[in-house]
Amino acid sequence: MSYQRGDVVWGPDPFKSGENPRPWLILNNDRHPFGDEEYMTVTLTTTPHDEEDSTR
């Protein structure tokens, strides 16, 4: 399966074992080496934060 830059996919959570999957954002583009085999990604959080905490 091939993903495009900006796609959000669900994958294993590297921070918790046995938990639900975590969303991952695909960052790489066509110039990334092995772009059809490997992906540069960041994990996204689904944890709610208090409005007070968002100013940090």
Structure letter (DSSP) for residue 54: G
**For residues 41 and 26, what is the distance between their CA atoms, to the nearest angstrom?**
5
Confidence check: pLDDT of 56 > 60: no
Looking at residue 1, its pLDDT comes to: 58
Looking at residue 37, its pLDDT comes to: 76
CB 21 within 8 A of CB 40: no
CB 28 within 8 A of CB 37: no
Looking at residue 35, its pLDDT comes to: 65
Looking at residue 25, its pLDDT comes to: 93
What predicted TM-score, i.e. pTM, was given to this entire model?
0.64
2-50, pLDDT tens digit by residue? Answer: 788 899 999 888 888 777 788 999 988 777 777 667 888 898 876 777 7
